[in-house]
Amino acid sequence: MTTATLSLSELTAAASKAASTAAAASDAERAGWLNAVADALDANTAELVEIADSETRLGSVRLTGEVARTSGQLRLFARVVTEGSYLEAVIDHADPSAIPPKPDLRRILRPIGPVAVFSASNFPFAFSVAGGDTASALAVGCSVIVKAHSGHLKLSERTAEVVTGALRSAGAPEGLFSLVSGREVGTALVQDPAIKAVGFTGSIPGGRALFDLAASRPDPIPFYGELGSLNPVVITGAALAERSGELAAGLAASFTLGAGQFCTKPGLVFIPAGTRFAAELAEASKDKPTAAMLTTRIADAYPDGLRSVAAVPNVVIVSGTADQDATRDGAAPVVFSTSAANVLERPDELLEECFGPTTMLIEYSGKEELANVLAKVPGSLTATVHAQHGEDVLGLVEQLSGLAGRVLFDGWPTGVAVNWAQQHGGPYPATTSLFTSVGATAVRRFQRPVAYQDAPETVLHPALRESNPLGIPRRVDGELMLP
């Protein structure tokens, strides 16, 4: 299932063959494959965490928790496919008396085929070899070829061995899962005609280059990229008056978590002008330790990003310094401050993600100015509101809903629950699609609808047969029918 001795064309050919077998397998069979991989990851946690920590320096506590999240994701998708609603089975019976007459139509979602998955640097388990993209694709009957991230190559190879062994022992077809590495191979993978969709988590430049490749193929394919996110936070005057110290402590903990390398880090924080919140945040941030970053490239880029922000007119450093060597000493937290008027004047310079433990306070003078500056914020994964009970924030929430996929209240965006309701995706550049990469509906990325007209019962998927042998939820003649 994964071997360095096969060429890319041989791997994609094997993936195509395996995808046909997986698509024909029952939901229970595929759930068994996922649970087997989850069990294998749990059984090898100690070894995997040791390798991961040597490559990423994220620490055993964080990494052990991430393995648990990863195995939990696999088990969630096993439940998703056995519950059955993911198929979106719809039946409309024939109606000869209608004008014009209506045929018998039955629609279902089917797997799209072999999928390429690009691992992320900042989550070496949950968004990597056996992460959510891989799990959701395998769940619906797609084969997967993972492009390993160079930042944790040894971990990727060992994780792939664990996944391969578990799938083989569970009876999954050969070729269902494989691993490749290298930038050139990754580019070729996106262009390979056997690949029918791509899942990607990474930088805007890298993701956009692959997105354009996927769109420029003779047969363009879906590219589900999670690229960059500023994750705006809006704090009202009433909230600051009631709990500014609490808010400063919460924000300091959130933007420094994991050395600021979370895709949901709160990078922009909008506060009323003329408050002491900047000083309180500086106090709450001053003792946050420096932290090693994921790769040398990321550590080198962090101070460059800080200096670029610091050089923008009318930007003040509230806490920390842009003059640091994150590669040698670790990344130190930095808090910037500016005005909404300055952001409106220089949006291209100030509304750009800086990957690391830094955030920008933006002071606004009223609701109108706040609305105007929020209109300049690019698409994000999250948006957060801190207000007091009874405040009228409906208009604000409507605006934030238009620029983010998840809107939080009185909390912090770092931390993404893996469940049925989660939405981890937002307008570009947060993601390149309308779908989520976390939670139950992540499977929808790797399915396509097929309708069968006047089909004999013998050729129909069990979910579309009259007797509903799978016992799943379906919509029949417009009515939702529960088992």
* Residue 76 neighbours by CB distance under 10 Å: 23
CA–CA gap between residue 23 and residue 21 (Å, rounded): 5
Whole-angstrom distance, CA of residue 475 vs CA of residue 29: 25
Which of 55, 263, 353, 363 is catalytic? The answer is 263
Q: How far apart are CA 220 and CA 260, in angstroms?
A: 35
Q: How far apart are CA 101 and CA 104, in angstroms?
A: 10
142 is catalytic: no
170 Rama sector, left if φ>0, alpha if ψ -120 to 50, beta otherwise: alpha
Could you confirm whether 354 is annotated as catalytic?
A: no
Which of the following is catalytic: 55, 226, 363, 369? 226
Alpha carbon distance 231, 133 (integer Å): 22
Task: Show the tokens assigned to 125.
Answer: 């388990």
Please classify residue 299 by burial: count the beta carbons closer than 10 Å to its beta carbon, then call 0-12 exposed, 13-18 middle and 19+ buried: buried
Amino acid letter for position 32: G
Edge-to-edge order in the sheet of strand 479-481: 447-453, 105-111, 90-92, 474-476, 479-481
Distances (CA, A) of 152 to 68, 141, 210, 273, 405: 18, 27, 21, 44, 29
Positions annotated as catalytic residues are 226, 263
